[in-house]
């Protein structure tokens, strides 16, 4: 048990180091974006003095290193800063009530998590079942049809799949609304109904990866001696796969599921923009348009942290599910 705890602590330390390096990359990349927030707000007719005054008020005239370590120190205390757009709006309106970036992101992040959760509930069981059936009936019409369908969906851009679903499920057959107008206080049923089209779009994207990995992992184990022995005992093919092959194929399946769950949080930008879904991806795009650096940095850091955490979880679960990794020689 001590070796497992040591391995987990090593993975967590590596994850924190990775997140620190990613924070540096995010800060440099965001601040290297073309354009300027002050110029964007004041317009092309702004005088250099007015632009410089706004940059000074926002701290954009400081050294990059000072700004990075100030941002990092605030992060460690849970402070993501104040949105530049909110600061400018409050100064123009003469108010002093500012909402922090964390408070601004929180409802959007919860909306994205709801979308990711609905997608995961649909996609994970569906992909595992399809992968098991494709492995059981490999080289049959079902297997070929499943492979063609998944390859088609995996090769299509998200926005194309989104528009196809809008055409068939919102225009020709008005089953679901084409726009996801989510707001606070909405009932679970209404929220689920308005989230279904973006969730189905993401399901088509991620199911292909998970289904094909499940199929490949199961087929690789079917030639193993213990599988042959189970077959010689007269056990049914489905029981052989579910009881004997699947538990030993969990490590690669867990990894691909974790990667796709990370995609559901970090790769939803296009889908949220298409359906005007009020999630963190939509907020990220809007903030990039106006060069709102604190919001963009916070969104990028959340994306990176979610991706790193889910990969760490997949790594740890793979270790726990594989005795050879739990007890390395």
Instruction: State both tokens at 248.
Output: 């030993």
Q: Tell me what pLDDT residue 118 has.
A: 92
Angle (CA) 314-22-318 rounded to 5° is: 10
Instruction: Identify the structural domains of the chain with CATH numbers, from first to last.
Output: 101-326 (1.10.3720.10)
**Residue 255's pLDDT is what?**
79
The Cα 284–Cα 298 span in angstroms is: 9
The predicted pLDDT at position 95 comes to 52
Q: For every one of its 329 residues, what pLDDT tens digit does the chain have, with 9 covering 90 and above? A: 567 778 778 888 888 899 899 989 988 888 777 766 666 666 666 677 777 777 777 677 777 788 888 888 888 887 877 777 766 555 555 555 567 788 888 889 999 999 999 999 999 899 888 888 888 888 889 888 888 888 888 888 888 888 999 999 988 888 888 888 888 888 888 899 999 999 999 998 888 888 888 888 888 877 778 777 877 787 887 787 777 777 777 777 877 888 888 888 877 888 988 998 998 988 888 888 877 888 888 888 988 888 888 888 877 777 776 666 566 55
Tell me, what's the pLDDT at 200? 92
Distance CA(150)–CA(230), nearest Å, equals: 31
User: Is 153 in contact with 208 (CB distance < 8 Å)?
Assistant: yes
Q: What tens digit of pLDDT does each residue of 175-224 get? A: 888 888 888 888 888 899 999 999 999 998 888 888 888 888 888 877 77
How many whole angstroms from its chain centre is CA 3?
A: 31
Cα 310 to Cα 308: distance, rounded to the nearest angstrom: 6
Predicted confidence at residue 185, as pLDDT, reads: 80
Angle (deg, nearest 10), helices 64-76 and 2-31? 140
pLDDT at 40: 66
> For the chain, how far is it from start to end, CA to CA, in angstroms?
15
- Please give the pLDDT value at position 196: 92
Question: Tell me, what's the pLDDT at 2?
Answer: 62
What are the pLDDT digits (tens) for 28-69? Answer: 888 777 766 666 666 666 677 777 777 777 677 777 788 888
Beta bridge partners of 116: none
57, two tokens: 């008020």
**What is d(CA 115, CA 239) in angstroms, rounded to the nearest whole number?**
34
Query: Would you state the pLDDT for residue 122?
Result: 92
49's CB contacts (< 8 A; 6+ apart) are: none
């Amino acid at each position: 048990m001590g070796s497992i705890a040591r391995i987990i602590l090593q993975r967590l330390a590596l994850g924190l180091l990775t997140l620190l390096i990613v924070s540096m990359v995010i800060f440099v990349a965001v601040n290297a974006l073309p354009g300027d927030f002050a110029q964007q707000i004041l317009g092309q007719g702004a005088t250099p003095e007015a632009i410089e005054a706004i940059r000074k008020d926002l701290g954009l005239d400081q050294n990059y290193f000072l700004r990075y370590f100030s941002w990092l120190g605030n992060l460690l205390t849970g402070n993501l800063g104040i949105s530049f757009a909110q600061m400018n709006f409050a100064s123009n309106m003469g108010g002093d009530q500012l909402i922090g970036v964390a408070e601004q992101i929180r409802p959007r992040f919860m909306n994205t998590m709801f979308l990711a959760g609905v997608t995961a509930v649909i996609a994970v069981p569906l992909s595992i079942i399809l992968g098991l059936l494709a492995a059981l009936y490999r080289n049959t019409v079902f297997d070929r049809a499943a492979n063609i369908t998944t390859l088609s969906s995996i090769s299509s851009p998200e926005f194309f799949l989104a528009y196809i679903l809008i055409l068939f499920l919102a225009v020709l057959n008005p089953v679901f609304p084409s726009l996801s107008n989510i707001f606070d206080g909405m009932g679970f049923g209404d929220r689920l109904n308005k989230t279904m089209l973006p969730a189905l779009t993401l399901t088509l994207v991620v199911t292909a990866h998970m289904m094909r990995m499940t199929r490949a992992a199961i087929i690789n184990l079917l030639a193993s001696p213990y599988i042959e022995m189970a077959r010689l005992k007269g056990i049914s093919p489905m029981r052989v796969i579910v009881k004997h092959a699947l538990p030993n194929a969990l490590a690669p399946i867990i990894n691909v599921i974790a990667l796709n769950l990370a995609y559901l949080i970090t790769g939803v930008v296009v889908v949220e923009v298409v359906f005007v879904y009020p999630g963190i991806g939509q907020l990220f795009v809007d903030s990039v348009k106006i060069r709102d650096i604190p919001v963009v940095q916070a969104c990028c850091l959340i994306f990176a942290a979610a991706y790193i955490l889910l990969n760490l979880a997949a790594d740890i679960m793979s270790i726990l599910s594989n005795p050879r990794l739990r007890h390395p020689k």
